[in-house]
Chains A and B, each alone.
Chain A
Amino acid sequence: FTSLLLMNFFSAGNIPPGVNQEAYQWFQTVDTDHSGFINVKELKQALVNSNWSSFNDETCLMMINMFDKTRSGRMDLFGFSALWEFMQRWRALFQHYDRDRSGCISGTELQQALAQMGYNLSPQFSETLVRRFSVPGSRPGIQLDRFIQVCTQLQTMTQVFRERDTAMTGNIRINYEDFLSGVIFSVFNALP
């Protein structure tokens, strides 16, 4: 009932408070089945990397997870608007750190990006990440979708580490199941 009311409200051309105007317009385009919600398939069709490949499933799932407050596997207009702003920030960061304007982030560029974001990690770590998240069959480099995925997961996993590193020594002692839980609970989210 509420969503019906909202639909009528929207079709009158009113943008609800808290919703970005561009996000509102984009929502109408992306919501191809006009359900009033964006599912992972619609999101995947809407998002492209700089080489025109569509976003990978994991990143789309991750972002829906982050902005789907209803846990229904899809986003309403409000969630989508928040995602839109999130995407704008990451797109700007990506362009900023892609110093040679190649359309992807190299190991060196990732190292600089992570250092500027405040992470104290070795150059080898960035190189490993780039190798791990490069598109199969193409030259090494991270596209926007993987950049968002990697940075978001770094944030989450740093948080998980900190919660266990109460003495702030930079080292943790962790048991098997706690290790599994920390990763699975924070990173893996299954969605339709």
Chain B
Amino acid sequence: MAYHSPYKAPPHINAPPDQGFLWNIFQRVDKDRSGVISDSELQQALSNGTWTPFNPVTVRSIISMFDRENKGGVNFNEFAGVWKYITDWQNIFRTYDRDNSGFIDKNELRQALTGFGYRLSDQFYGTLIDKFDRQRKGQVAFDDFIQCCIVLQRLTDVFRRYDTDQDGWIQVSYEQYLSMVFNIV
């Protein structure tokens, strides 16, 4: 299926929390008091709603989005963005997890991604669940849902850069194709 409207970033639902509140959280998450929250510190602070560790690949994706100096973590200023990003996703997850199971099944994933503007085939949603479901439940938990959306967003962005006439088709050389893939994976 062709793609129609572009992906939209998650809507900004939450009012920004006040600085004192955020500082409090930052200090609790920054266990070694280095002033920078590392991957493992953030991972320990996050819950995916099950008793399993938060997807480390999702943590890396999120940190790298906000880590401006490529220092391998986020400082307090950057953490505000991380906090907002995660709480926005949390709201989206709750909206689409209609049965409140703590997991998004194929149907819910279709509704969520359709809501974001994606137009994908039924079969493709099955592939997504199959690839991002770390718990092998046939549905995705919060952390895997975020990762799935991040990957889709990156791939869509890179595709759109080449699809200048927006007909859903691109022509690329071997090296262009590899560059597209490696810039996002």
Contacts and interface: CB of A to CB of B under 8 A. Distances in A.
Given A173-B170, A190-B132, A185 B127 contact: yes
Contact of B151 (A57, A136, A184, A191): A184
A163 B71 CA distance: 39
Nearest to A174: B170
B12 interface: no
Interface in A99-132: 120-122, 125, 128-129, 132
Given A121-B178, A192-B52, A181 B185 contact: no
Given A136-B67, A157-B178, A190 B133 contact: yes
Contacts of B144: 190
B49 to A, nearest CB: 15
Interface string A148-192: 001001100110010001000011111111011101110111111
B38 to A, nearest CB: 10
Interface residues of B, number: 49
A165 B152 CA distance: 24
Interface in B130-185: 131-136, 144, 147, 151-152, 155-156, 159, 163, 168-175, 177-185
A190 B131 CA distance: 5
Contact of B120 (A57, A129, A136, A177): A177
Contacts of A125: 175, 178-179
Contacts of B147: 190
B181 A176 contact: no
A181 B124 contact: yes
Contacts of A122: 175
A192 B155 contact: no
Contact of B185 (A73, A165, A188): A188
A129 B133 CA distance: 28
Interface of A: 57-58, 61, 71-73, 120-122, 125, 128-129, 132, 135-137, 150, 153-154, 157-158, 161, 165, 170-177, 179-181, 183-185, 187-192
Given A58-B60, A153-B182, A185-B131, 20 more contacts: A57-B60, A58-B57, A72-B136, A73-B134, A125-B179, A136-B71, A161-B178, A174-B169, A175-B168, A176-B1, A176-B159, A176-B168, A179-B155, A180-B155, A181-B127, A183-B184, A188-B132, A190-B55, A190-B133, A190-B144
